[in-house]
Structure 1
Amino acid sequence: MNKILVLEDEPMLQDMMSSYLESSGYEVVSTDNYEEALSLAYESKFDLFIFDVKITRGNGFELLDELRNSGVGTPCIFATSLNAMSDVTSGFKVGCDDYIKKPFELAELLLRVQNILKRNFNHNQNDEFITINNELKFDILQKRLLKGDKMVPLAKKESELLALFLKNKNTILTRDDIYSQIWDMGEMPSELSLRVYIRNLRKIIGNEKIISHSKLGYEYVS
């Protein structure tokens, strides 16, 4: 049974969403505030988040951004009355997977939930963990680097960069390839920052794993 965290501060809508999803076969945990949602997301494993944006004592965008920066890659749907293009862009920049505008039909929400969970399930059928060496493995779904059972701290862009390298083993990635994948729309790519991320990754996984090709780019070698 898939487990869903619903963050919605309008009591009637929260109850309707939770009841409808439970009747459709999902386990649902619901809350109406930022801090409790954050604690729940850290303490339990969820298969999907559904976050309202304008919530009590916080903001859904900020909540997901905090979770993503902590290495939590659980897929997320934003449910919101905001409809400006800048709001949609903000949602996807912090790592959401889908967006549904209020007011919405519960049947539409269910279709979006089913679509994301199906996609996630198919992903999980592949190898979720990629072995780097005898000590390190990378959770490609959650974008977490693990040493044994303990998570190795990485900055958000470092984990995204490592994921990109592991998906393109033994292939030279140009700087433009990396910039387009790691830097969000509207962000200014930085050669200096990229070098710092590369240096930090090399310290952890080994200098020999990431090769610099002059005037071409970088290559992760397996």
Structure 2
Amino acid sequence: MNKILVLEDEPMLADMMSSYLESFGYEITLSDNYDEALSFAYENHFDLLIFDVKIIGGNGFDLLDELRNSGVKTPCIFTTSLNGINDVTKGFKAGCDDYIKKPFELAELLLRVENILKRNFCQNSQDIVINEHLKFDILQKRLLKDDKPVLLSKKESKLLALFLQNKNRILSREEIYSQIWDYDELPSELSLRVYVRNLRKIVGEDRIISHSKLGYEYA
């Protein structure tokens, strides 16, 4: 079931959008203000965001811009009465995928939702299942547990992606260093051990095997 975060501060419209989309099988989370929507987007995994622009505590443009800058790539539709070309341009520059002008028909909204989710599925259907609770979004370098994000450092995410893409192959420390550390950084064996230990706690102690003098293997 696709999960959608709807940010709309007009209660009647929010209820109409929620009920209509739920009738087509979507799971809807409603919010009516900037801060709450920001928290929802950070703490949960959504397949789509639908943001009004004029909202309590800020505006949808700034909210999406903040999410994009923090690495959230979930597709977004703006709904707004601001329909000048400058507003449309600002919306797309903030990182939206579609822009629907108010007032709109709910059937039109549904068509746009279906189109974006279909397109996004084709682009992002590269989740790697680790176990019944864990999966890794290989494109966004994001680990999900029961569809909720698991906090990893940037290097831990890159290391897990490297392991998953090279299952049952021993990766030398030198290969790992070249893939995980930037060219201007000094690789650290101690740091690598810490990253491996942290990942083992999440994916299972027996999944990442240490081969003396050779490297590590994800099995």
Per the normalisation by structure 1, the TM-score is: 0.61
Which one-letter code corresponds to 2:14 in the other structure?
Q
Q: CA deviation at 1:110?
A: 0.2
Task: Give the corresponding residue for 2:183.
Answer: 202
Query: Does the CA-based 8 Å contact 1:73-1:143 persist in structure 2?
Result: no
Q: CA deviation at 1:205?
A: 11
Which one-letter code corresponds to 1:9 in the other structure?
D
Q: 1:69 to 1:103 in 2, by over 3 A?
A: same
Task: Give the corresponding residue for 2:87.
Answer: 87
Task: Give the corresponding residue for 1:78.
Answer: 78
3-state SS in 1 of match to 2:183: helix
* Identical columns (%): 70
Q: CA deviation at 1:202?
A: 3.3
Task: Give the corresponding residue for 1:35.
Answer: 35
Q: CA deviation at 1:64?
A: 0.3
Gaps of 5+ in 2: 129-135, 144-149, 156-180, 188-219
Which one-letter code corresponds to 2:154 in the other structure?
V
Does residue 150 (structure 1) correspond to residue 131 (structure 2)? The answer is: no
Q: How does 1:136-175 map to 2 (within 5 A)?
A: 139-140=138-139, 142=140, 150-152=152-154
Work out the CA distance in 2 between the residues paired with 1:86 and 1:205: 45
Work out the CA distance in 1 between the residues paired with 2:6 and 2:61: 14
3-state SS in 2 of match to 1:202: coil
Q: CA deviation at 1:119?
A: 0.6
Q: 1:71 to 1:7 in 2, by over 3 A?
A: same
Larger Rg: 2
3-state SS in 2 of match to 1:77: strand
3-state SS in 2 of match to 1:92: helix
The number of equivalent residue pairs is 149
Query: Does the CA-based 8 Å contact 1:6-1:31 persist in structure 2?
Result: yes
Q: How does 1:1-222 map to 2 (within 5 A)?
A: 1-125=1-125, 127=126, 139-140=138-139, 142=140, 150-152=152-154, 202-203=183-184
Work out the CA distance in 1 between the residues paired with 2:51 and 2:186: 35
Which one-letter code corresponds to 1:54 in the other structure?
K
Q: 1:118 to 1:94 in 2, by over 3 A?
A: same
Q: CA deviation at 1:152?
A: 1.7
Which runs of 4 or more aligned residues in structure 1 lie more than 4 Å from their structure 2 counterparts after TM superposition? none
Q: CA deviation at 1:10?
A: 0.4
Q: CA deviation at 1:138?
A: 8.8
Q: CA deviation at 1:90?
A: 0.5
Per the normalisation by structure 2, the TM-score is: 0.62
Deviates more, 1:115-124 or 1:104-113: 115-124
Gaps of 5+ in 1: 130-136, 154-199, 207-222
3-state SS in 1 of match to 2:83: coil
